[in-house]
Amino acid sequence: MGTRKYIVTLTSEERERLTKLVSGGQDKAYRIKHANILLAADEHGSHLPSQEIARVFSCHFNTVTEVCQRFVQQGPETTKVILICDNLNTHKIASLYEAFSPVEAKRLRDRLEIHYTPKHGSWLNVAEIELSLLTRQCLRRRIAEIDRLRQETRGWVQRRNAGQKSVDWQFTSKDARVKLKRLYPQS
């Protein structure tokens, strides 16, 4: 039947979510049909050829191709991704165009909602240190299931908070008024 242009590979969580959508029957008909198409096309599932999927679900071959293409290119959900960046010169939209083709860069750009932190936000260092610790102490391995990831992260946070670790903050308000004089109102 020919090779498939878009190979759908579902994680177990995605497969479970799509199965619930199909079996629940409470959603819009087209969403249920699209879920059925993805489940049938899944590389680790029944892995039916596109023509067979179209025949089984009484839809046009192009519908199957478009659903698979959208999933492969955009992921299961096309929601906005909120990205919080510091003001490092590499954290700009232009970096996407340097790393990816113009079409892919535009697709990524359209999904991103970028928020930049204040230039003088030394609090960011504290957040970066905590995230670095989380990554090194808890997330060094691949965790395929989102529920497992949440459970592991929650456990790490509880242990970290129970230990009452704190940051030795040495930059006082008085120091800030001297160092950042131009940012404070003159009285």
Interval 103-134: pLDDT, tens: 878 877 877 777 776 666 656 677 778 888 88
Are residue 68 and residue 98 in the same domain, yes or no?
A: no
Predicted confidence at residue 154, as pLDDT, reads 92
Ranges of H-type helices in the chain: 12-24, 29-41, 50-56, 61-74, 94-99, 102-111, 123-137, 146-162, 173-179
DSSP state at residue 93:
T
Cα 180 to Cα 33: distance, rounded to the nearest angstrom? 59
Percent of the chain with pLDDT over 90: 3
pLDDT, one tens digit per residue, over 92-102 is 788 888 888 88
Cα 96 to Cα 102: distance, rounded to the nearest angstrom? 8
Are residue 137 and residue 154 in the same domain, yes or no?
A: yes
Average pLDDT, rounded, for the chain: 77
- Overall number of domains in the chain: 3
185: in domain: no
Among 74, 91, 106, the domain boundary falls at 74
With cut-offs at 50, 70 and 90, classify the pLDDT of residue 151: very high
177: in domain: no
Can you name the residues that pair with 83 across neighbouring β-strands? Answer: 114
155: in domain: yes
The structure's pTM equals 0.38
The C-alpha angle 107, 111, 153, rounded to 5 degrees, equals 125
Are residue 50 and residue 65 in the same domain, yes or no?
A: yes
Predicted confidence at residue 1, as pLDDT, reads 47
Range of the domain at 94: 81-116
Which of the two residues, 49 and 2, has the higher pLDDT score? 49
Predicted confidence at residue 77, as pLDDT, reads 57
7: in domain: no
